[in-house]
Amino acid sequence: MPLAMGVDSSTQSTKVEIRDVDTGELIGSGRAPHPPTSPPRSEQEPQAWREALLDARTDAGSHGVQSMAIAAQQHGLVVLDEAREVIRPAKLWNDTESSADADWLVEQLGGRDAWARACGSVPAASFTITKLSWLHRKEPDHFGRIRHVLLPHDWLTFHLSGRFVTDRGDASGTGYWSPAEGKWRLDLLGIVDGEKDWERCLPEVVGPTEPVRRSGGTVVAPGTGDNMAAALGLALEPGRVAVSLGTSGTVFTVARDPVTDPNGNVCGFADATGRFLPLVCTLNAMKVPIAMARMLRVDLNQFDQLALEGPPGAGGVVLIPYFDGERTPNRPDASGTLRGLRSDTTAAMVARATVEGVVCGLLDGLDALRAVGVPVDDEEILLIGGGARAHAFQRVFADLSGLPVRVPRGEHVAAGACVQAAATLTEQSPEEVAAAWSVGRQGHVIEPDPAVDGAEVRAAYARSRDIAGRT
């Protein structure tokens, strides 16, 4: 029975799954935490990811594996010197110190539309290219030592294989790789520094199931970004929408053709199969109820119950959840806003407003996908990530979207990495393996309550959002 190992190296932790290559059956799993971090400066030592991977692998059990793949948080910047040593802590996707660099880069190329056409996305503070610009501006000595520019999954794969490689999915989140052209855009990096030999600094982009290393009967697969792996784990097909509730929130689907959005709301990523992954990301998802639960002095289970007790519309209370700035809409310097408080406001109303605020922001992302012509099915929404386990989020998503919400079981990023590892080992396509395993089809469904006026709740949120944007 050949086994595949998939790794999800996220902002908060590393998760490992070991699955039967033939059936997808889960054989073992493990988890280990990462050091906590918070914007505006959000950094981690890459070595902490490696140590967490070793701990999570041990936690998963002593199973021999024949193939492995790394999926990791997108956009992060890992820079190495000539000796292949890490120069400084990695800047993570939710580090917002480069917001001024994002604005500068957009201006240098002639605007948002020019960037969307060049690389599928408009740079925001989360993108790797903005972090390189920040490093060039703020830490020129460190910048001058750069010989290798990697993403988190690239760095971990390097330690498994000894090669500097990446895949098209994760590369498409850098701001200097074109999904439409399938190549690095060295001219965009030239805006940051026209003298550096960027081609030498970048990893090789390998195919979706191209083995990176074969050693001792074990195959190392290319790996990918976390959202691309989640799409694999769900066996996501064009038009079927997934919403992920983790530290950040994402709304995405698979598309057959490249997508561009000159407004910058939709990122026109590539996926891990050869197709494309239009995606909207919000900076604030589960960190918001975690923070509000702390303020209300309850644990997350109690907060979930409070939100379920609160009335739809939260008695007029509206939370704009931009606690650490926001990426969509692009407001890196924003903060959270709580409106509509009255002397009879209850804790249940505040909890309900918190959940509704996060959900409304993500439903705005779904509208953004539709606005740029991405085909979206109205059959159901797939709700995944840690926050998908909260009953309040399940209920509010169904009621405000007016669509059934399916909550698949499992760790979908790690499962997707297992899919890629198995496909690389067996020389099948990832789509074939994912469809055969059917991991993403398992789970329960929440139907919307027709008595809830979701349109009015969303309209109240939009009014408060627009007011907050003017202040």
For the chain, domain boundaries: 3-226
The whole-model pTM stands at 0.93
Distances (CA, A) of 89 to 4, 49, 86: 30, 12, 7
321 pLDDT band, cuts 50/70/90, is very high
Least confident piece of the model among 93-102, 228-237, 295-304, 328-337: 328-337
Average pLDDT over residues 181-194: 97
CATH among 3.40.50.2300, 3.30.420.40, 3.30.930.10, 3.40.50.720 for 3-226: 3.30.420.40
Average pLDDT over residues 67-80: 97
Per DSSP, the three-state class of 369 is helix
User: What is the rounded CA–CA span in Å between residue 9 and residue 73?
Assistant: 6
132-151: pLDDT as tens digits: 999 999 999 999 999 999 99
138-185: pLDDT as tens digits: 999 999 999 999 999 999 999 999 999 999 999 999 999 999 999 999
**Does residue 468 register a pLDDT over 90?**
no
pLDDT confidence of residue 438? 81
State the residue for tokens 């809830």.
Answer: 452
**Does residue 80 register a pLDDT over 70?**
yes
For the question of residue 271 being annotated catalytic, the response is: no
1 pLDDT band, cuts 50/70/90, is confident
In the set 226, 261, 304, 364, the catalytic residue is: 226
Average pLDDT over residues 298-318: 98
User: What is the rounded CA–CA span in Å between residue 276 and residue 258?
Assistant: 6
pLDDT confidence of residue 222? 97
Instruction: Give which of 133, 155, 144 is closest to 89, Cα–Cα.
Output: 155
- Pair 154, 170: CB distance under 8 Å: yes
pLDDT confidence of residue 471? 60
The Cβ of residue 239 has, within 10 Å, a number of other Cβ atoms equal to 15
**Does residue 256 register a pLDDT over 90?**
yes
Q: What is the mean pLDDT of the chain?
A: 95
Instruction: Give which of 253, 245, 235, 230 is closest to 439, Cα–Cα.
Output: 235
